[in-house]
């Protein structure tokens, strides 16, 4: 598993005179981004060409502003997309737009990552899986990578929620070798299987930096970035799996993704976009 958090380069923070420990709330984050912008940097690297990347920003803003329960209820259809609480999410999001690269819809996640890698951007909200891409560039780039939790917005909820998708194995219920499948799941979920997974290497023979969701995992061999990821996830009281896994697939990709892209094109259209989101949810067929 891996956390979605605020990623940055330690060397850039040092050069900018920033202390990550002081970026704990919304105002402090905006001050940080403003300082980066004044230095000619992109404060917040972002890409949403794929239509899914910005879902992570919606997730964390909604959870920070309105809390875990409202967030999961919204994605389950128990709350309305037309609610003023959702409007507040986009209101906060709009405050970040001046600090983003202007070509958000032209870049996918890896394009945004390149801005951070090339030191053209000072921070990026993303899942930590891209640490492997930094490591492919160089060990020094990887060692320079760091993560902190997304800052508090509403003191009522603090930093109690995080997107931390958990990857796992599944076996078809009607497969041709159910016993073999069950045996494999037992292996994969045990320490031997987890250790084998963590020992996986990329095409260049380098270890892929991953963290295990198994509470019994020995973390003594984890590097600094992996330990930071665990700390960020360990701080959270609630774990969410990411919008396109926490709501219906026939709603996330076909509806929410394009809606957020439309908002990037015209942020003032938020009311119309909320109406469309709710209308599309209401039009979904019942689940079988």
CA atoms within 13 A on the CB side of 108: 3
32: which 2 tokens? 């940080």
The mean of the pLDDT values for the chain is: 96
Q: What are the C-alpha distances in Å from 11 to residues 122, 144, 224? A: 10, 6, 15
Residue 215: pLDDT band (50, 70, 90) is: confident
Residues 6+ apart with CB under 8 A from 158: 152
pLDDT, one tens digit per residue, over 158-185 is 999 999 999 888 888 888 999 999 999 9
Domain boundaries, the chain: 4-165+239-282
1, 213 Cβ separation under 8 angstroms? yes
In the chain, what is the straight-line distance between the N-terminal and C-terminal CA atoms, in Å? Answer: 30
| Alpha-carbon dihedral sign for residues 164, 166, 167, 173 | negative
- Residue 226, pLDDT score: 95
Helix (H, G, I), strand (E, B) or coil at 129: helix
Is CATH 3.20.20.220 the right assignment for the domain spanning 4-165+239-282?
Answer: no
Q: Which 3 state secondary structure label does DSSP give 208?
A: coil
Phi then psi for 3, rounded to 5 degrees?
Answer: -90, 155
- Average pLDDT on 42-63 reads 99
Name the token pair of 195.
């250790």
Query: Distance between CA 186 and CA 190 in Å, rounded?
Result: 6
Q: Which residues contact 69 (CB under 8 A, 6 or more apart)?
A: none
pLDDT, tens only, 219-255: 998 999 999 999 999 999 999 999 999 999 999 999 9
Given pLDDT bands bounded at 50, 70 and 90, which one contains residue 202?
Answer: confident
Q: Does residue 143 register a pLDDT over 90?
A: yes
3-state DSSP of 71-119: HHHHHCCCCCCCCHHHHHHHHHHHCCHHHECCCHHHCCHHHHHHHHHCC
- Number of residues assigned to the chain: 288
Minimal CA–CA distance to 282: which of 242, 248, 258, 245? 248
Report the predicted TM-score, pTM, of the whole model to 2 decimal places.
0.94
pLDDT at 253: 98
Q: What is the pLDDT of residue 221?
A: 87
**Are 257 and 51 in contact, with CB atoms under 8 Å apart?**
yes
Supply the pLDDT for residue 197. Answer: 85
pLDDT tens for residues 263-282? 999 999 999 999 999 999 99
């Amino acid at each position: 598993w891996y956390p979605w958090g605020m990623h940055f380069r330690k060397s850039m923070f040092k050069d900018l005179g920033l202390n990550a420990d002081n970026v704990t709330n919304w105002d402090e984050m905006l001050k940080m981004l403003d300082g980066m912008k004044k230095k000619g940097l992109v404060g917040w690297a972002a890409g949403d060409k794929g239509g899914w990347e910005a879902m992570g920003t919606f997730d964390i803003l909604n959870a920070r502003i309105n809390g875990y329960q409202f967030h999961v209820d919204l994605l389950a259809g128990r709350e309305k997309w037309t609610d003023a609480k959702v409007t507040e999410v986009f209101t906060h999001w709009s405050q970040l737009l001046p600090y983003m690269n202007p070509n958000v819809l032209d870049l996918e996640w890896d394009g945004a990552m390149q801005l951070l890698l090339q030191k053209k951007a000072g921070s990026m909200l993303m899942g930590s899986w891209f640490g492997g891409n930094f490591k492919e560039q160089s060990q020094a780039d990887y060692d320079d990578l760091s993560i902190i939790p997304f800052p508090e917005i509403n003191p009522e909820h603090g930093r109690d929620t995080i997107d931390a998708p958990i990857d796992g194995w599944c076996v078809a219920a009607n497969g041709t070798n159910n016993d073999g499948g069950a045996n494999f799941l037992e292996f994969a979920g045990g320490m031997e299987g987890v250790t084998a997974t963590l020992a996986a290497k990329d095409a260049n023979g380098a270890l892929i930096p991953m963290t295990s969701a198994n509470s019994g995992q020995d973390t003594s061999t984890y590097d600094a970035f992996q330990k930071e990821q665990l700390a960020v996830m360990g701080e959270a009281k609630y774990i969410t799996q990411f919008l396109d896994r926490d709501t219906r697939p026939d709603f996330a990709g076909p509806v929410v993704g394009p809606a957020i892209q439309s908002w990037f094109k015209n942020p003032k259209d938020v009311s119309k976009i909320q109406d469309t989101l709710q209308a599309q949810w209401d039009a979904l067929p019942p689940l079988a």
